[in-house]
Amino acid sequence: MKQSITLRRNLRRNTLVSKKRSSSVGRPTYSLSKVLLVWGVVLAFTLPVWRSGLKSNLTLAGFVWNHTIFGEPVEFVPKEDYETALQ
């Protein structure tokens, strides 16, 4: 005995292919802002351009580590060095 199942009209599956072409066809799936954000984060954590007290050439991770309770004790810039930087 062959049994066939019919769906009610509103439950019928849509098998028609849309003739309208999708706007994302042929385009990359990433956006420029996401790529720039990722590159900015990578560069911030790898380039040693941060300063903290007398320490220079720190990466962002080193800078953050220096400002936590796990970092080295606080360093103060001597007044003479501070005044020469302002001249």
Tell me phi and psi for residue 37, to 5 degrees: -65, -45
Each residue's pLDDT tens digit, 44-57: 899 998 888 778 89
Structural domain boundaries enclosing 62: 31-86
d(CA 70, CA 56): 18
Structural domain contains residue 36: yes
- Give the number of domains in the chain: 1
CA triple 11-15-18, angle to 5 deg:
120
Structural domain contains residue 39: yes
Each residue's pLDDT tens digit, 54-76: 788 999 999 999 889 888 888 77
What SS3 state is found at 58?
A: strand
Q: Which two tokens stand for residue 84?
A: 């020469």
Structural domain contains residue 20: no
Structural domain contains residue 5: no
Structural domain contains residue 14: no
